[in-house]
């Protein structure tokens, strides 16, 4: 009777343990399936490599971005498509660090030039993270094509240069005009000053004095404006 009860307990424990392992395996399988679906449908290329830079995973976006199907990409060096990523790893087996990969730069965004299968270069932004698969460090690389962004940046930079050149040309023109206006204005001031030094009636001296004061005011304004433009051009030349 005691042996029968013990056997029943052992059987229950065995079946409970088997059921627990099966549930755990099912949960892990579902998690891997969901993760694989997320990676496959990601908008960025997701590439996984081992410690030697050999590609072990290659999602659908990576196929489109680099124009290479998964079956062809797996087993090749990641430097084939991201030339500056690794320090030219060899195809020989590489023993990685216990918890990291020596040539990896994780948790930081970087920009570099990538190559398609046909050798067409294009700019990318990437981020890396070290993961452990089967007790061995691997590297997940998330790659984003930034060709459109770089084109927009170049367009904005050219537009900025054109706008600055136009602004500088306008200031140059205004400065030259101010200088040219001041030249005849000096003559008007000199002649008006001479006129005021002659014998004028009170009726003649009043309008002549008004002309002289107005010319002096205009001269000061044009001089101030010319000095301002000159200093502005000097700051542009310095920059």
Determine the pLDDT at residue 171: 74
Overall pTM surpassing 0.75 (yes/no): no
Determine the pLDDT at residue 114: 94
Determine the pLDDT at residue 1: 53
Separation CA 75–CA 48 (nearest Å): 11
Alpha helix (H) residue ranges in the chain: 2-40, 60-66, 70-73, 147-196, 202-238
Determine the pLDDT at residue 121: 93
Q: What is the DSSP letter of 96?
A: -
Contact 45, 68 (CB under 8 A): no
Determine the pLDDT at residue 129: 86
| Ranges of the chain with pLDDT below 50 | 87-99, 236-239
Contact 138, 130 (CB under 8 A): yes
């Amino acid at each position: 009777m005691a042996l029968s009860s013990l056997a029943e307990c052992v059987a229950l424990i065995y079946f409970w343990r088997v059921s627990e392992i099966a549930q755990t395996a099912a949960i892990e399988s579902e998690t891997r399936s969901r993760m694989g679906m997320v990676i496959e449908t990601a908008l960025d290329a997701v590439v996984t490599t081992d410690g030697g830079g050999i590609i072990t995973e290659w999602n659908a976006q990576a196929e489109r971005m680099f124009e290479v199907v998964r079956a062809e990409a797996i087993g090749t060096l990641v430097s084939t498509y991201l030339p500056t990523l690794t320090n030219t790893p060899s195809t020989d087996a590489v023993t990685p660090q216990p918890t990291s990969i020596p040539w990896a730069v994780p948790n930081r965004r970087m920009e570099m030039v990538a190559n398609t299968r046909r050798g067409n270069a294009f700019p990318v932004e990437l981020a890396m993270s070290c993961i452990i698969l089967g007790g061995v460090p691997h590297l997940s690389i998330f790659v984003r094509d930034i060709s459109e962004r770089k084109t927009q940046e170049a367009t904005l930079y050219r537009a900025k240069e054109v706008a600055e050149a136009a602004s500088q040309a306008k200031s140059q023109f205004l400065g030259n005009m101010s200088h040219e206006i001041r030249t005849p204005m000096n003559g008007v001031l000199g002649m008006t000053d001479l006129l005021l030094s002659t014998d004028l009636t009170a009726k003649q001296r009043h309008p002549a004095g008004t002309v002289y004061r107005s010319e002096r005011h205009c001269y000061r304004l044009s001089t101030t404006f010319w000095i301002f433009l000159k200093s502005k051009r000097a700051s542009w030349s310095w920059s």
